[in-house]
Chain A
Amino acid sequence: MKFLDTMPYKEKIARRAAKEIAPGEVINLGIGIPTLIPKYLSPDKAVFIHSENGILGMGSLCSPGTEDRNLIDAGGNYVTINKGASFFDSALSFALVRGGRLDVAFLGALEVSGKGDLANWIIPGKFSPGIGGGMELAQKARRLIVTTMHTDRKGRPKILKSCTLPLTAKECVNTIITELAVMDVGPEGLVVREIAEGVDVQELIEMTDARLLVPSCEIPRF
C-alpha cells in the first residue's frame, strides 16, 4: 500500500476540533493531534490551556532562542505563557482536572467504542509507557473530545462496537472528531453530526465498526 501522508488530515481534524471550544474555556491538549489545535484558536477566544506539569494559561511553542529552561509543557516542549497564567504543583494541577474545573480535554485514541469507552494507554506486551495524566483527563474532564484518524495505519476501524484493548476509562467520550466525521456519543449510539467534504455516508459507515446513527436530514459538511 502506498504511504499516505496523514498530516493534512490531522490538521483538518485539529482545525475542526478548535471550533468545539467556547470562549474562556479551560482546556487540556493530549499528545498527537491535540497539540495542533492552538494554531486554530483565535486569541480573542481567551482560552486557557492547562498543562499537567503545572501551568494554566500556556501559550505557544517558543521561537528559537527564547526558550526558558524552567518552562516546558507536559511533552517536554519549550512554551510561552499568556497573560493571566499561573504555575502550581502536580497535586493542584490534577485537583483542577478531577475537581471538575477542566471544561474540555482533547485526547488521541488507539480505540474508542460507540458507547464512549476509550483505550489509549496500553497495548499489552507491545506498548506500555505508563498512564501519565490520561486516565484522570478521560474520566474527569467535563467534556472529552477524542481526535483521531478514523482508521489505523492498516486501514482497520478504530471506532469499534467495543474496545479490545484495556480501557483508559469507561463511557467517558462525548465527541469523536476524525478526518471523516464529527460524531457525538448518545444514549442510542454514535450520532453523526457532521461529515467531511467529499465523503459519502455509506463510505463512513463502512469504515466504522460501531453502529452509526445517521440523521435523515442533510448533514452539515466540514
Chain B
Amino acid sequence: MIDKRTSLEKAVENIRDGDCIMTGGFGVPGTPFVLIGAVLKKGASELTLIKNEANEDHMGVSKLIEAGRVRKLICSHLGLNATVIGMMNRGEIEVEFYPQGILAEKIRAGGAGLAGILTDIGIDTILMENKQCVEVDGQTVIIEPALRGDVALIHAAIADPFGNLVYEKSARNFNPLMATAANTVIAEVEKIVEVGALDPDSIHTPGAFVDHVVLIKEITQEYEILRHHAL
C-alpha cells in the first residue's frame, strides 16, 4: 500500500505562484495552521484562496492575505476580520462572497466531477447580478459553476498512512468537501494510526482523495482556545 506520510516541506513543495488553494476550517476548528504557515514560508504569491472565512485578524489565512500573497479570496463572510475587510474596501484584495451553503455545494460539485449547481438562493437580490440563470420547471434558478482548487489544505484529527481521515466535532466543516475538490490534497493530522486501525464506518474522507499526510508535531497556541471567545 502507498504510504502517503510525508514531511511538511515536501508536502507543500509543488505549490506555485497563482495557484488556487482551498483551505478547510470554520474559525479555529479545522483550520490547517501548520500547512498555512508552510505556504507562507515557501513564499508562493498571487494565490486565489477559497475558505469559508479569512480566520480572525493576524491568524491563519489572514497572515497570507496580510502578507499580500492572495490576489483573490472566495468566501462566505469576513465578519470577524476587520483587517481583511479594510483591505477589501481599499481594493487591496478581490473578494467574492457566496452564501455559505452555496459555497459548500460549489465545492462539493467540483469534487463530484459536476459542472455546477442550480439554486434559487439569492433570487430577487443583488446576488443575481451578472449571474447566468436558467428556467427549471417554470422556476428561474441561478447557475453556480463548480469550484476546484489546485491544492486543498485539510486539517483532520486522525489519519492512517493511506490517507483515510477522521475529523473532530465542529472541526469537520468544509474539510471533507475540499478534500474531494483539488488536484493535490494535503492533510495535516494530529495523530496517525496504522492501516486497519480505523473503523471503516467512522472514516469521513476515504484515503483515495488524499495525496499527502503530514503529522503535526504539536498542538501549537494557534489551535488553542481563543480567550476573547470564552466566558
Contact = CB atoms under 8 A, between A and B. Distances in A.
B75 interface: yes
Interface string B173-195: 11111000000000000000000
Interface string B92-121: 000101111111110110000000000011
B44 interface: no
Main secondary structure of the interface of A (DSSP, over half): loop
Contacts of B204: 89
Contacts of B102: 94, 136
Given A90-B104, A130-B77, A132-B79, A64 B174 contact: no
Interface in B70-86: 75-80, 85
Contacts of B29: 53, 69-72
Given A91-B108, A129-B78, A130-B77, A169 B125 contact: yes
Interface in A70-125: 70-72, 74, 76-78, 87-91, 93-95, 97-98, 122
Nearest to B105: A91
B225 interface: yes
Given A132-B77, A135-B125, A97 B101 contact: yes
Contacts of B197: none
Interface in B123-167: 123-127, 157
B27 interface: yes
A54 B108 contact: no
A131 B99 CA distance: 5
Contact of A91 (B27, B104, B125): B104
A131 B98 contact: yes
Given A62-B230, A129-B79, A167 B124 contact: yes
A170 interface: yes
A41 interface: no
A53 B27 contact: yes
B168 interface: yes
Contact of A170 (B27, B77, B124, B226): B124
Contacts of A133: 76, 99-101
A129 B85 contact: yes
Nearest to A94: B101
B170 A87 contact: yes
B170 A90 contact: no
Interface of B: 26-30, 52-53, 56, 75-80, 85, 88-89, 95, 97-105, 107-108, 120-127, 157, 168-177, 204, 219, 223-226, 229-231
15 contacts: A31-B79, A53-B170, A67-B225, A67-B230, A76-B80, A77-B229, A77-B230, A78-B230, A87-B170, A90-B100, A130-B78, A132-B100, A135-B125, A136-B101, A136-B121
Interface of A: 31, 51-55, 61-64, 67-72, 74, 76-78, 87-91, 93-95, 97-98, 122, 128-136, 139-140, 166-170
| Shortest beta-carbon contacts, A-B, top 7 | A94-B101, A130-B77, A132-B77, A90-B104, A129-B79, A170-B124, A91-B104
